[in-house]
Amino acid sequence: MRTALLLSLSVLSVTLAAATSPTLPFQVSINGSIRTSAGEQPATLTVICAEGKGGALSLQLRLPGTQLTDYDLDAYEGPGAPAAQKPSAHLQIGNLHPVAKVGGWYTNDQADGPLLFVFGIASMSGQSGTAAMVVRALGRTAASLRWTQDNPQPRGQPLIASFSPTPEESAQIARISAPCLPAAKRR
């Protein structure tokens, strides 16, 4: 009897935690390129949907974090980063041209992998915002995204990233992002 009660309580606590926490995120990554003063390099755009209370819909631009000599990535890194306080990401997808504030961080996706820098834009799950607008557009076939990231150095060259999802990737984006998009616009 005691074991059954403990098991019931643990199932109930897991159920309650799941109801109040964001669910595990769904994500899709698209390979693209980023143009810097040093030339063209690979970049990745990741769309992440963590639905539920406290969840978010986010876009993450991932690029090599060690090969940019004339671009101050540190100005965007961490909470309160000076460059993250003003709109600096110019996004172009079809007729949409939103400008957004971005934050950033350094990461290693793999323990022995290269150092990466990630620029991130997010909207709360179910809320409108730049991330929701861009992700909705990326979920349409034949959409292409151009992300121009201002250089925090005066007269510095911006970073320009380009992504063209395949029809399959667009369908994946539409599917995984649907739970995180504003309810009035879900289809």
What are the boundaries of each domain within the chain?
Answer: 22-182
Say what the pLDDT of residue 13 is: 33
Q: Encode pLDDT of 152-185 as tens digits.
A: 998 889 999 999 999 999 999 999 999 999 975 4
| pLDDT at 102 > cutoff 50 | yes
Could you tell me which residue, 184 or 32, shows the higher pLDDT?
32
Report field, pTM of the whole predicted structure over 0.75: yes
What's the chain's average pLDDT?
84
Q: Please give the radius of gyration of the chain, using alpha carbons only, rounded to the nearest integer.
A: 19
Q: State how far the Cα of 73 lies from the Cα of 107, in Å rounded to an integer.
A: 13
Nearest partner of 61 among 24, 89, 92, judged by Cα? 89
38 or 149: whose pLDDT is higher? 149
* Class of the domain covering 22-182: mainly beta
For residues 10 and 131, the model is more confident at 131
Would you mind telling me the total number of residues written for the chain in this entry?
187
Q: How far is CA 22 from CA 89, 129, 130, in A?
A: 27, 19, 20
Q: Mean per-residue pLDDT for 109-129?
A: 87
* Three-state secondary structure call for residue 78: coil
* Per-residue confidence band for 39, with pLDDT thresholds at 50, 70 and 90: confident
pLDDT tier for residue 10 given thresholds of 50, 70 and 90 = very low
pLDDT at 8: 32
* pLDDT above 80 (res 113): no
pLDDT at 96: 92
